[in-house]
Every structure is written in C-alpha cells, then in structure tokens.
C-alpha cells in the first residue's frame, strides 16, 4: 500500500483558517454594529498612542531637565494664554498634559493588562484544579473564593497594597510599586475566572474524549493542559475584556487615593489626583483631559467585551 | 367531516440567511385521514421534525413557512395569528415530544398540568376536570391514578412520564396528534408499551396521528401509511406493508436493506455510500442522485414529483411513464 | 478447540457510593446509599470473536465495559487480559504494555473527539503516547494510512471534528482506536447515535476491520438487531447481573430467561406479521432500590416464592448459561 504524507497543514491550512475567520459570522456582526467599531477605533488609538509614546509625544514629561516651572499652569492652546508647544496645557510642574496622558496611558494599560493576565492565570489554574480534582480540593478552593467575594475588590487591593507599603515601605524603589499593584489588583479579580473555568471543567472532564485520553494513559496534568484547557477558555476571553476595564479603573482609583503609582511615574489616575487639587482654581485641564481619556478607554474596552460576549453567544444569533 | 383531518399542500419551510435562503422542507404534500396513523420517517436532516413544527405553528425563527398551505379539517391554519393558533394547539392538535423530562413542568404536579389543559380547552372546571384527568390517566395505563395524580414528574419513571404526556395530549380530545420521536428516549420494553397505547387510543377515539421518527420498526408496528423523507422532500409515500416489503424508491430500498434484522443471518448490511446532503449543498434535480445506484440521465437535471406506482407514490424518474424519461433511456 | 480466551471477566462487581454529602446526612439523619451497578458478572471472550452485551438502562453494561478496559477500578472480582490480571495490584507495572492492546470506541460521536484538535492530532495521540512512530513524518504516514483504512481521505486530517458528519466522526474514533494496534476494542453503543444508513456503513466497516486485522470486540448495545448482526456470543444483563449467556444464534432462536424472551418480544419488528411471544410488563426498577431475590420477579409471569426470596445463580447448560429459578426447576 502506497503511503502518502498527510497534506493540508502548515501555511495553506493557516491561510484557509484566516480566510474562514474573516468571512465568519463573528466578524460580520462586528462590522454590523457601529458602536463596536467606534469602540474598537478608540481603543486602538489610545493603545497605539500609549505604545508609541516615546515617538509620538511632543515632550518627555519624565525628563526633569526639560521641565521648567515657567511653563507651568498653562491652559490649552485654544484658550487665552495657551502655548502652541503644549497643546492641552501643562500641570503644576510644567509637564505637558498631552505627553503625560500618552505616557500615563502606557502605565495604566500596562498595569491593567498585567494584573488581568495574573488574575486570569491564577484563576484558570485554580479553576482547572478545583474542577478536575473535585472533593476536598474543590471545596477548599471554592470556599476561599467565596470568602474573597465577600470583600469588594478595592478593599482587597488596599489591604495588599497597604500591607506591602507598611512592610517594605522604606526599602522599595518605585519600580517595585508596580508589581505590588499588579499583585493587588490581580488577587482581587481571580475568583470570576476560577468559578467559570471550574464549572466548565466539571462538564468537560466526563466527556468521552477525556476518557479516551485516560484510556491511553495520558497524565492528568497533560489532559488538563492539552484537552480541557482549550475547551474551557472561550468564556474567559469575554471576562478578560470586561475585567481589563475594571482593572484600569481600579488602578486609577488606587492611584487617586495615593496608594497606587508614585507621582514620578504618573498614570492617568495619579494625574487626576494631581489635577483634582487645581479644579477649583479654574485649571480644569489638568484633571479633565486625563479623566476623559480614562473614561474613553474603560468604556471602549467594556463595549468591545459586550460585543464579544454577544457574538460568541449562539442563542442570540 | 368526510375529508382528511390534516391536509398539507406544497409546504415549504425556509431559513433566510445573510447569504441566501436555505430551504429545509421543499414542496411537501400529504393527507392524514380520520383515525389514521401516518408515519413520517427519515434520517436526521431530512426535515421531518420541521414539517411537524410547521403544522403546529412552532417553527423557531428565523425559520418560517415560505409557501404552501396546511388545512385542519378544511380550515387553513398556516396563516393564523399567534393567538388563534394558540387556541387550535392543545384543543384540536395535541403534541407528544421525545423527552418526557422536558415536556412536563417539573415544578407542577402532573394533575395540575392535566387539569390546566382541560380547563383551558373544555368547559369542565374544578372537580369535574379532576375526574376527567383521573379517567385519562387510567386510560393511558397509569396504575393507581387517583393517588398518583398528585405526584411530581420526577417521581415517575420514564415510561410513566411519557404516558402522562400522552394523557396531556389527549386531554382536550383533539382530532390530530403530532408525535415527534415519542419512544426514542425510552427503553425497548417500554417503547413497545407506548406504541401499543398510542395505537389503541387512536383507534378508540378516531384520532389521527402524525408519527415522526427515524425508527422503521416503530413505524412498522404503529403506522398505517408511511412517508419517507429525504433532504426536505417526500420520496415515497404509501401503505406501510407496501413500502416496507416492496420499497420502490432507491433510497427506500437502501434504507430497508441497511436495517439489521433479528431473524436474519449475519450477512453484510446494504450500504448507501455518502450521506444526506447539508442544507447548503442540496444537489440539483433529484437530491438523491449522487448516491443513487440506479441513477440515469434525467436525474441530475430534473426534479421528480410524486407519481403513482403500484399502490404507492414515488418521486423517481425510474417510474415515470412520460416520454421525457423514456426518450432519455 | 479450546484456545485460552483473550479476555476473561470473573465475578466482577462495582458499587458506587451515591450518598448525600456528609453535612446533609448528619443534619437529616440519612443512611449511606450505595448503587450496585454490576454484581457477579462472569464471561469470557475468545480471540477474533465479538461478544455482545445487551440490556436496557440500568443494566450496568456500560459500567462493565469500562471496568474491562480499565477506566474504572472494580469493587470486586477480576479482569484477565491475555493471561495477565488487570486488577491485581502486584502486576501494575506491566499494565502500560497492556494498555496499548486495549482500546474503546464511545457512543457519542459529538463528545468523543476533542473539538479543538484536528483529526490528524486526534488519531496521532495514541501513536505518540505509545511511541509507535520514530519521527513526525512516520506518524503522519501512519495517520494517513489509518484514515484511509476507515474510509476517509488523508487530507481530511486537517479538519476539525465539527466539519465532519456523525458517521465520519465515528470513523475517526475508530481510526484513533486502531492507532495503537490493539488486539481488543470495547465498543460502547458505537452506532446508537447514528442514522440507520450510516449505522450500516459503520457496522460493515467494523466487520471488515475485524476480518483484516484479527480484532476482538466487546460490543455493548441496547439494539438487539445490531447485536444479532455483529456478535457470535451474547450476554443479557438486567439490573447489574447477567441473566443469560449463549451463542448468538441460540439466544435469538431459543431464549431461555423470561427477561430475554420479553426483550425479544418487545423489539419492534419490521415484519409485524410475526406473532408476539410474551406481553411486556412493567419497567426496569430503580437500581437504588432493587427488588429482593431475583431482580426480575416483579415483572415475571413465572415468579414463585423462591424467586421473591433467593437470588438465582448463573447455571451452565451446554454452551449457554441462565440465571433463573424457573429454568433450573424445569418450570419453563
């Protein structure tokens, strides 16, 4: 019997998959919904601006040498007294608001993405273990989740953050603060992932394809990673997008309260805090522009998450 | 009252999609007489459940009736308003579905559910309705009906639940019952009991039954006539004895041959190559022609209508007496 | 010719603990509940033969199949494969070698293939797990061979399960089962979810493969006609116990046990002109609360006092075995 190699993998298969994706119902529903397209556009602009900040921003707000107190408190360019060098005005240190927004979005996005990644990784791992092992392990993890759910996310984040500051306060450099923040926010969000994944793991682990893998002696860790994980990851995508908006806002809140990022590395939240002091003095641009950016980012990401959830729900189609 | 109880003419069920309309039931016509059991048999994707749903007006959107008409005792029912159809459903058409677990509301006692149907569709109320419910449960063979009427569905076994569903279907004394795979979810021994129950009640009350199933054995035992469906069309319709022992359409022949029998020896089963076409790729002409062992010239071009042959009707060019087919040969 | 059987099942039993959670039991003072899914199951399967196990819901046939292939540990009894005990703890080391030779085909073609894996990877998984191919290209070649063996095009290996029909998925499942070059395949209702014409294709395929590769099958089914068509020996199960074992022709021509007779009478016949043998009564009782004595006695026309009190044993008569007091006493 002549033996032919199995064709159809590699590049031609990827191309076919991509073509199918572009033509699929999900992508179609994307273009149908104008709100979603606008939201995606806004997110893209902010993300690109943040990622390309070093090249796009007119000034470097962290370079102390370029700052001059003479430039401080300048209003946006279209108001009287504005300076064309600083399109959206400057803050009390003489930093250009536009540049600070671009660099600040970077931090907000970075912290948001990292904390969501951490929460997802932790939640998925615990969910898989709880769902697969069942019994006492499952009970333990789920009760821990229940206890955590009784506390609002911000309280948990404050708790971890405050503890870290108290323990290591004088020894930390500013860069460590970011990791503490990521840890704090991540730990307050893992439960949703764990619960969703656990429920789906329960269902999948009894399916015949898992039994077939058992039959040939595949180890449970491999079964979890290769078989069960890809099949439970779908809803996680939706949770990630919605969580991202929440994480960004939570970081902003923490920074606003003063327990987030330090003033030398301002995120959008820090800038709002700084600007808050000058609102009543009439220098509205220091708080409003960052606030608007934050709101736009959170809303757009949230709307994208909504669309994704509806698009992935077969019943609504 | 002399005409057929149910008359379906050129029924068409379609699903509009963004890239065109899919036709799931294409030009289907049949009658069911008073007290007759018509079996509608076909494999999955043939369109038999959709036909049943169309008759009782329960097509799930975006599915819709795209043509044809359905008449219940002469009255047209396919174009009624939702409200009017609601009155017909339950009162004049009863339904028995496959899964008794989901046909009954788990939160209500079975007595309450039957009484609700009786009070909605008849003039009986209160104690009279309850007496009728108990009588119905006795008719369907539920033992100790007076006490068990107050039980919840989960307290009954699968077979008992299906009997309750049959009682529910009969509660308002309908002229027609649509039974969609009524025995598929049941054990073999219970299946036999439900089949004989349906037959007996049908004969006693003169209720017509449209029995939809993929199981030819059930059809053989329960039905008087049978319609074989393939890719949304009826390919053969006739008396059960005729269609089973002397199938005409090549698909029916293949179908009967592929069923393993209890009394035969271990020969190879008849095999039809390929599978039923998906809705998006139904072949032109006769939909069965790519798989047909007796395909010839007109099959790929022209779509055959049902034509009389022997005692049945067959949609196949092999039996066409018109010059077109003969000229092609 | 008395060659040693390939698979021997001896007094196999399985009990599931279905008690309510500890807290509920303590607060509501409930007893522990046990479900006897299978008890005293004994049979053997000769090489290259098909053994059919039939029964309705609650009969325990699926549980027995899973114990035979080693997916569930038995609560009691022994499974012997080619002379090696599968259940004896001391011999556990040799079990990985045996694993390769035992495979299973499952009922639901929509749940037995991982929806996120390509057909190629699904069929290649056993090859990789048992290191049966030296290189990726060797594995690919082998997968192509297997797909062709079950009637599919090797190019289809790139597709995902949802792109196939039910019958084609079952073929992929069979190809996967064949990938480890097994001697024995347990088939749990392999065609119950398929249309009748597709069932014919798959059953014919299974027969052809058995002839070509010398396979031994354990076929689980509730469809008596399918078992009649495929199996040379048949065991009938009721509520976890074997009530009758006989060569296929004999069982269907001369059933002894009242339950077997009732089951055969209940099967809807295409030729309904055949006379009915015995009327069908009652339903399968709740396995959590089985009747005392013979589990079939509430539905049996021949039950006497002994049947209601004493569990019948499987007694051999010639090439068959029946577990029935009435048969033993010569009353039927």
The count of structural domains within chain C is: 1
Q: Is the Cβ pair C225, B256 closer than 8 Å? A: no
**Which range among A3-17, B8-22, C13-27, C313-327 shows the weakest confidence by mean pLDDT?**
A3-17
Above 0.90 for ipTM, yes or no? no
> Which residues of B fall below an 8 Å CB-CB distance to C?
43-44, 157-160, 187-193, 195, 214-218, 220-221, 244-245, 254-264, 266, 268-273, 275-276
A3 at the C interface (CB within 8 A)? yes
Q: Is residue C100 part of a domain?
A: yes
Q: Is residue A218 part of a domain?
A: yes
Q: Is residue C275 part of a domain?
A: yes
The count of structural domains within chain A is: 1
Given pLDDT bands bounded at 50, 70 and 90, which one contains residue A4?
very low
Q: What percent of chain B has pLDDT over 70?
A: 96
Greater confidence, C216 or A277?
A: C216
- The string of pLDDT tens digits covering residues C134-189 is 898 999 999 999 999 999 999 999 999 988 888 899 999 999 999 999 999 999 99
Mean pLDDT in residue range B171-196: 88
Q: What percent of chain C has pLDDT over 70?
A: 94
pLDDT for the residue numbered A9: 43
Size of interface B-C (CB pairs under 8 A): 121
Q: Is the Cβ pair C144, A230 closer than 8 Å? A: no
pLDDT for the residue numbered C89: 61
Rounded Cα distance between C40 and C10, Å, is 8
CATH number of the domain to which A253 belongs: 1.10.3720.10
- The string of pLDDT tens digits covering residues B298-327 is 888 888 888 888 889 999 988 876 655 444
pLDDT for the residue numbered A98: 86
For residue C107, the distance in angstroms to the closest alpha carbon of chain B comes to 15
Q: Is residue C2 part of a domain?
A: no
Mean pLDDT taken over chain B: 87
Q: Is residue A130 part of a domain?
A: yes
Closest chain C residue to the Cα of A233, Cα to Cα: C116
Q: Is residue A173 part of a domain?
A: yes
DSSP A60: -
Q: Which domain holds residue C276?
A: 7-328
Q: Is residue A24 part of a domain?
A: no
**With contact defined as beta carbons under 8 Å apart, do C53 and C37 qualify?**
no
Q: Is residue A14 part of a domain?
A: no
Q: Is residue C1 part of a domain?
A: no
Greater confidence, B158 or B33?
A: B33
Q: What percent of chain C has pLDDT over 90?
A: 50
pLDDT for the residue numbered C276: 55
Q: B-chain residues within 8 Å CB-CB of C262? A: 189
Q: Is residue C128 part of a domain?
A: yes
pLDDT for the residue numbered A119: 95
Q: Is residue C23 part of a domain?
A: yes
Given pLDDT bands bounded at 50, 70 and 90, which one contains residue B55?
very high
- Name the region of C29 (left: φ>0; alpha: ψ -120 to 50; beta: rest): left
- The string of pLDDT tens digits covering residues A24-61 is 666 777 777 888 889 889 988 888 888 888 887 787 77
Q: Is the Cβ pair C141, A3 closer than 8 Å? A: yes
- Who contacts C78 (Cβ-Cβ below 8 Å, separation ≥6)? C8, C9, C10, C11, C12, C85, C86, C87, C88
Identify which of A93-97, B164-168, C264-268 has the greatest average pLDDT: B164-168
Greater confidence, A173 or C31?
A: C31
Residue C253: other Cβ atoms inside 10 A: 11
- The string of pLDDT tens digits covering residues A105-138 is 888 888 899 999 999 999 999 999 999 998 889 9
Q: What is the DSSP secondary-structure string of B78-139?
A: TT--HHHHHHHHHHTEEEE-S-HHHHS-TTS-HHHHHHHHHHHHSS--HHHHHHHHHHHHHH
- The string of pLDDT tens digits covering residues B185-225 is 888 888 888 888 888 888 888 899 999 998 888 898 889 99
Mean pLDDT in residue range A267-290: 84
Q: What is the CA radius of gyration of chain B?
A: 21
Q: Is residue A129 part of a domain?
A: yes
C289 at the B interface (CB within 8 A)? no
Given pLDDT bands bounded at 50, 70 and 90, which one contains residue A170?
low
CATH number of the domain to which C308 belongs: 3.40.50.300
Q: Which domain holds residue A137?
A: 32-61+70-316
Q: Is the Cβ pair A9, C155 closer than 8 Å? A: no
Greater confidence, A38 or A7?
A: A38
Residue C132 has pLDDT above 80, yes or no: yes
- The string of pLDDT tens digits covering residues C51-85 is 999 998 888 999 999 999 989 899 999 999 988 88
- The string of pLDDT tens digits covering residues A189-226 is 999 999 999 999 999 999 999 999 999 989 999 999 99
Given pLDDT bands bounded at 50, 70 and 90, which one contains residue A173?
low
Indicate the Cα dihedral angle C264, C267, C269, C270, nearest 10°: -140
**With contact defined as beta carbons under 8 Å apart, do A167 and A236 qualify?**
no
pTM, two decimals, is 0.84
Mean pLDDT in residue range B26-32: 93
Give all domains of chain B, ordered by start, each with its CATH number.
6-92+172-328 (3.40.50.300), 100-171 (no CATH)
Q: What is the DSSP secondary-structure string of B8-66?
A: EEEEEEEEEETTEEEEEEEEEEEEE-TT-EEEEE--TTSSHHHHHHHHHT-PPTT-EEE
Q: What percent of chain A has pLDDT over 90?
A: 21
Q: Is residue A2 part of a domain?
A: no
**With contact defined as beta carbons under 8 Å apart, do B195 and B277 qualify?**
no
């Amino acid at each position: 019997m002549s033996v032919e190699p199995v064709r159809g993998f590699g590049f031609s298969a990827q191309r076919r998959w991509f073509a199918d994706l572009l033509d699929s119902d999900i992508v179609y529903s994307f273009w149908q919904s104008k709100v979603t397209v606008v939201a995606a556009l806004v997110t893209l602009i902010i993300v690109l601006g943040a990622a390309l900040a070093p090249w796009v921003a007119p000034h470097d707000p962290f370079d102390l040498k370029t700052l001059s107190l003479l430039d401080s408190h300048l209003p946006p360019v279209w108001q009287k007294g504005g300076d064309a060098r600083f399109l959206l005005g400057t803050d009390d240190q003489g930093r250009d608001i536009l540049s600070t927004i671009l660099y600040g979005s970077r931090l907000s996005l970075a912290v948001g993405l990292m904390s969501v990644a951490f929460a997802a990784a932790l939640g998925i791992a615990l969910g898989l273990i709880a769902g697969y092992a069942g019994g006492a392990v499952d009970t333990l993890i789920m009760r821990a989740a229940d206890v955590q759910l009784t506390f609002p996310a911000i309280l948990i984040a404050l708790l971890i953050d405050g503890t870290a500051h108290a323990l290591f306060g004088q020894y930390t450099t500013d860069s460590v603060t970011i990791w503490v923040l990521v840890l704090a926010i991540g730990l307050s969000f893992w439960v949703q992932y764990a619960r969703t994944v656990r429920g789906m793991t329960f269902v999948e682990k009894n399916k015949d394809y898992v039994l077939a893998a058992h039959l040939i002696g595949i180890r449970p860790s491999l079964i979890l990673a290769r078989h069960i994980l890809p099949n439970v990851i779908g809803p996680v995508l939706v949770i990630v997008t919605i969580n991202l908006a929440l994480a960004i806002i939570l970081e902003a809140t923490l920074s606003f309260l003063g327990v987030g990022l330090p003033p030398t590395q301002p995120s959008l939240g820090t800038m709002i805090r700084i600007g808050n002091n000058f609102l009543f003095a009439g220098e509205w641009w220091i708080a409003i522009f960052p606030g608007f950016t934050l709101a736009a980012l959170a809303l757009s990401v949230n709307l994208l998450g909504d669309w994704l959830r509806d698009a992935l729900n077969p019943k609504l189609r | 009252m002399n005409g057929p109880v149910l008359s379906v003419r050129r029924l068409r069920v379609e699903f509009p999609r963004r890239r065109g309309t899919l036709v799931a039931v294409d030009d289907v016509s049949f009658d069911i007489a008073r007290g007759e059991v018509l079996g509608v048999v076909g494999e999955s994707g043939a369109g038999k459940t959709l036909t049943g749903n169309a008759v009782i007006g329960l097509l799930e959107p975006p599915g819709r009736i795209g043509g044809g008409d359905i008449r219940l005792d002469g009255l047209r029912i396919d174009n009624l308003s939702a409200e009017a159809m609601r009155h017909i459903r339950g009162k004049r058409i009863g339904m028995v579905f496959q899964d008794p677990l989901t046909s009954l509301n788990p939160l209500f006692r079975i007595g309450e559910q039957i009484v609700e149907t009786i009070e909605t569709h008849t003039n009986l109320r209160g104690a009279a309705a309850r007496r009728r419910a108990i009588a119905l449960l006795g008719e369907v063979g539920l033992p100790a009906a007076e006490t068990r009427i107050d039980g919840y569905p989960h307290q009954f076994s699968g077979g008992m639940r299906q009997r309750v569903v049959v009682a529910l279907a009969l509660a308002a004394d309908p002229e027609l019952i649509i039974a969609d795979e009524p025995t598929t979810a049941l054990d073999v021994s219970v299946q036999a009991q439900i089949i004989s129950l349906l037959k007996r009640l049908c004969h006693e009350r003169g209720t017509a039954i449209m029995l939809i199933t993929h199981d030819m054995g059930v059809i053989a035992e329960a039905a008087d006539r049978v319609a074989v469906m393939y890719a949304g069309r009826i390919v053969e319709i006739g008396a059960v004895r005729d269609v089973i022992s002397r199938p005409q359409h090549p698909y029916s022949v293949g179908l009967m041959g592929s069923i393993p029998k209890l009394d035969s020896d271990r020969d190879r089963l008849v095999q039809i190559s390929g599978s039923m076409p998906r809705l998006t790729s139904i072949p032109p002409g006769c939909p069965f022609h790519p798989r047909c062992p007796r395909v010839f010239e007109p099959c790929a071009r022209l779509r055959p209508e049902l034509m009389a042959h022997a005692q049945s009707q067959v949609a196949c060019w092999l039996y066409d007496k018109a010059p077109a087919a003969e000229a092609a040969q | 010719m008395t060659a040693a059987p390939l698979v021997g099942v001896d007094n196999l039993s399985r009990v599931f603990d279905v008690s309510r959670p500890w807290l509920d039991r303590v607060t509501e003072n409930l007893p522990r509940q046990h479900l006897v899914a299978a008890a005293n199951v004994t049979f053997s399967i000769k090489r290259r033969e098909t053994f059919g196990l039939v029964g309705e819901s609650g009969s325990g046939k699926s549980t027995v199949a899973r114990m035979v292939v080693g997916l569930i540990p038995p609560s009691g009894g022994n499974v012997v494969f080619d002379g090696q005990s599968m259940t004896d703890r001391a011999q556990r080391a040799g079990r990985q070698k045996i694993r390769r030779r035992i495979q299973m085909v499952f009922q639901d073609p929509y749940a037995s293939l991982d929806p996120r894996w390509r057909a190629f990877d699904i069929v290649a998984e056993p090859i990789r797990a048992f290191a049966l191919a030296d290189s990726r290209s060797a594995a690919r070649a082998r997968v192509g061979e297997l797909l062709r063996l079950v009637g599919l095009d090797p190019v289809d290996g790139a597709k995902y399960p949802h792109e196939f029909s039910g019958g084609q998925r079952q073929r992929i499942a069979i190809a996967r089962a064949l990938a480890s070059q097994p001697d024995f395949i347990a088939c749990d209702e392999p065609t119950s979810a398929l249309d009748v014409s597709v069932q014919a294709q798959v059953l014919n395929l299974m027969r052809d493969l058995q002839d070509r590769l010398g396979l031994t099958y354990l076929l689980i089914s509730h469809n008596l006609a399918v078992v009649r068509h495929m199996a040379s020996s048949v065991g009938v199960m009721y509520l976890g116990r074997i009530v009758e074992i006989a060569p296929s022709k004999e069982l269907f021509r001369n059933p002894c046990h009242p339950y077997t007779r009732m089951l055969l009478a209940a099967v809807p016949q295409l030729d309904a002109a055949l006379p009915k043998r015995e009327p069908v009564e009652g339903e399968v009782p709740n396995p959590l609360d089985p009747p005392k004595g013979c589990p079939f006695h509430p539905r049996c026309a021949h039950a006497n006092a002994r049947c209601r009190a004493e569990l019948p044993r499987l007694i051999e008569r010639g090439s068959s075995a029946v577990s029935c007091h009435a048969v033993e006493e010569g009353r039927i």
